Amino acid sequence: MNCDLCRREELLIKGEYPYLLHEFNHSWWLLGEHQYYRGYSVLLIKGHYRELTDLPAATATAVFSELLAAHQSAQDFWHPHKMNLCSLGNVVDHLHWHLFPRYQDDPKLKNPPWLQMQEFDTKKISPNEAEKIILEWKKTFAFKG
Ligand SMILES: [Zn+2]
């Protein structure tokens, strides 16, 4: 298998990926391995689909609800000024969204988050740090069902 995100899914299925915030029916919501933007997360679609239009219609609708739920929860938990959602897939063509909370004290708030991507790895978090954030999130915002 030649897809990084399919390999990540295999780890998630085995319970061996420590950045899981929540498993939805059609997607996994993951805390970002870096926190350059506090609260950065990724919604990863289950199964290797390249385009939104490749999803069965009912799945696409369900995925949109899951994206909205993750978006709302990120907003409620991290209180950003604005959420930036991106789905590009030019590097890994397995459908996923990046959810970047953006804050008012960011001097580059008006720029797309990708302009800072060279610095993302300077804010990597360990699985232990991720676990603390995820536990904090679960106390208040864990989804039901
Ligand atoms: Zn894949």
| Distance (Å) from CA 109 to ligand 1 centroid | 31
Specify whether the CB–CB gap between 87 and 99 falls below 8 A. no
Ligand 1 center from residue 135 Cα (angstroms):
28
The pair of structure tokens assigned to 7 is: 């390999």
pLDDT, tens only, 38-77: 999 999 999 999 999 999 999 999 999 999 999 999 999 9
List the one residue out of 39, 47, 35 whose CA is nearest residue 5. Answer: 47
SS3 42: strand
Domain count, the chain: 1
CATH number at residue 44: 3.30.428.10
Cβ–Cβ contacts within 10 Å for residue 110, how many? 7
Q: How far is the CA of 42 from the centre of ligand 1 (A)?
A: 14
Q: Cα(17) to centroid of ligand 1, in Å?
A: 16
pTM: 0.94
| Domain interval for residue 119 | 4-141
Residues of the chain with pLDDT under 70: 1, 142-145
Instruction: Output the CA 123–ligand 1 centroid distance in Å.
Output: 25
